[in-house]
Amino acid sequence: MFRLYRHFFLFMLTTFLWMNCSHTPEKPNILLIMADDMGYSDLGCYGSDIDTPHIDRLADEGLRFTHFYNAARCCPTRASLLTGLYPHQAGMGGMVVSQPGGREPGAYQGYLNNNCVTIAELLKQAGYRTLMSGKWHVGEFRPVWPVDRGFDRYWGLISGAANYFNPNRTKNHTVSRIMAEDDQALHLPSENFYMTDAITDHAVKMLQEYKNKTFFLYVAYTAPHWPLHALPQDIEKYKGQFDQGWDALREKRYQRMLDLGIIDHDWPLSPRDNGAMVWEDVEDKELMSLKMAIYAAQIDRMDQGIGRILKTLKEQNRLDNTLVLFLSDNGACHESGPLGQDFWGNGVLPGGVDSYQSYGRSWSNAGNTPFRLHKHWVHEGGISTPLIVRWPAMIKKGGEITHQVGHIIDLLATFVDIAGVSYPATCNGHAIQPMEGKSLLPVFQGRQRQPHDFLFWEHEGNRAVRHANWKLVAEKDKPWELYNLEKDRSETRNLVHMETELAERLEKEWTKWAVRVGVK
């Protein structure tokens, strides 16, 4: 009898070890969350005093990147994210067009071309259900909607910025933004609607619908992009919090970022932006404080929605087998002057459906602490993004910070690596350009990965190249500047006249890249 039990025990042990060691690990679900026009320092875990507990928890349980880059603007970044290419290679070197033929074909045509393949198209080959809720903005006409480029399900805003409470509402009440569900245009109700909550609602709905399927879910919030629209209870929470103004806020955030280890003590706080005002000179401080309160409320509501999505995954017992990533598409938005703009000019206070305002360059300067410039530009304030990654199966120690350099082109390469799918040379009869990104998986595993030799940018004439710790950068129609980012990532000490040979070499590399990808 003892021998019988002994043989049975050995059989069960062998079976257990075979099942747990010989099989390929289950592919993780992938949840990719993107904010719109959120600054580098706008999250609690990156130095902000805005309440973002659910995003902060992702950081506490995962990994924060300090040197991750976007492509400086919403459309180019989204194109690079989806394709693993530089935006020009995907046809999105500039902004989107509303109809075909609006621009000549090529790097700036304004919609995804046929010589790229999207994350969704690739992950479908690996058995993933491909889902998206939120802002698309890389093609406003068929056949370049999400369902045309690999997504099984879609709900959201095909076009750009919109009224959060009523996307059909515009200044002249005649032009509406393009909303869609799968392959059908939507005309949404004008009451009891708020864009951020609706994006969350449909993300949760998709998770519930596909609760037994491996998924890739791309949640692209419009928050906190203008207009300044938020729910009253969220605004109330932040009223008065920013009465000290942007100058004091920059100092406060800078110190907290140092304390958190997000930035280095060698990097000074950049001087106040040339286009920003001195807080003491602002006449209507109450209005400007309110604008920042509304902006903070927009981020807060997005964080609440992310909490709902994560709760759904936890209830489905899928959270720990889900790779979760959170990032922003560009730096904070300076648009419309130092104090922002009332786009509708009706004098209505910001916050509600009848208003349409931005918060302006002075607050944007605080959002991008400690860096220079903003969205549109390719100085660090325009292209630096917080990236947070949670994946317990791979990232064993939460709360870690990595200073390894990554770029938006690396996300598709990472997902292809994780899913075990081959990147194609052709797709649907079209030649596909070679992938530019490199997998971030070694970073997730706590290893050093082989970095990019060079990284490049161009948007609306602003241009840059990074090589190791050196960055050559220029504003449109202005001369090159050179910075040692290890010692001065705030870009305050221009070394272009001291390191002339290096500057010339980097300029040549940028020019070669520009010719290769079709920069004008």
45, 67, 74, 467: the active-site residue: 74
Please check the confidence at residue 415 and state whether its pLDDT lies above 90. yes
Domain containing residue 366: CATH number: 3.40.720.10
Active site residue 74: yes
Where a domain ends, among 452, 467, 488? 452
Phi, psi of 253 (to 5 degrees): -65, -40
State the DSSP H helix or E strand holding residue 220, giving kind and residue range, or none if neither. strand 215-220
Where a domain ends, among 433, 452, 471? 452
d(CA 23, CA 25): 6
Rounded mean pLDDT, 166-192: 82
pLDDT tier at 172, thresholds 50, 70, 90: low
Number of domains in the chain: 2
Question: Is 20 a domain residue?
Answer: no
Residues 477 and 378 in one domain: no
Rounded mean pLDDT, 22-35: 80
Question: Is 243 a domain residue?
Answer: yes
Residues 229 and 306 in one domain: yes
pLDDT, one tens digit per residue, over 246-302 is 999 999 999 999 999 999 999 999 999 999 999 999 999 999 999 999 999 999 999
Rounded mean pLDDT, 89-94: 97
Residues 468 and 359 in one domain: no
pLDDT, one tens digit per residue, over 382-397 is 999 999 999 999 998 9
Active site residue 137: yes
* Residue, of 173 and 183, whose pLDDT is higher: 183
Residues 242 and 305 in one domain: yes
Q: Detail the DSSP E strand segments found in 311-444.
A: 322-328, 384-390, 400-407, 426-427, 430-431
d(CA 400, CA 410): 20
- Secondary-structure percent of the chain, ordered helix, strand, coil, rounded to 5: 35, 15, 50
Q: If you average pLDDT over every residue of the chain, what do you get?
A: 93
Q: What is the CA radius of gyration of the chain?
A: 23
Please check the confidence at residue 428 and state whether its pLDDT lies above 90. no
For 111-145, letters b (16+ CB in 10 Å) and e give bbbebbbbbbbbbbebebbbbbbbbbbbbbbeebb
pLDDT at 424: 95
Written as six digits, the tokens of 132 are 């998206």
Where a domain ends, among 427, 452, 477? 452
Residues 371 and 513 in one domain: no
Written as six digits, the tokens of 246 are 């942007």
- Tell me the residue range of the domain where 145 lies: 26-452
pLDDT at 26: 81
Question: Is 8 a domain residue?
Answer: no
Residues 276 and 338 in one domain: yes
Q: Is the N-terminal amide bond of 370 cis, ω within 30° of 0?
A: yes
Residues 350 and 459 in one domain: no
Residues 404 and 469 in one domain: no
Residues 462 and 433 in one domain: no
Residues 74 and 202 in one domain: yes
Question: Is 7 a domain residue?
Answer: no
Written as six digits, the tokens of 176 are 């509406």
pLDDT, one tens digit per residue, over 492-505 is 999 999 999 999 99
Rounded mean pLDDT, 42-59: 98
* Residue, of 21 and 88, whose pLDDT is higher: 88
67, 88, 137, 374: the active-site residue: 137
Domain containing residue 516: CATH number: 3.30.1120.10
Share of residues in the chain with pLDDT > 70 (%): 94
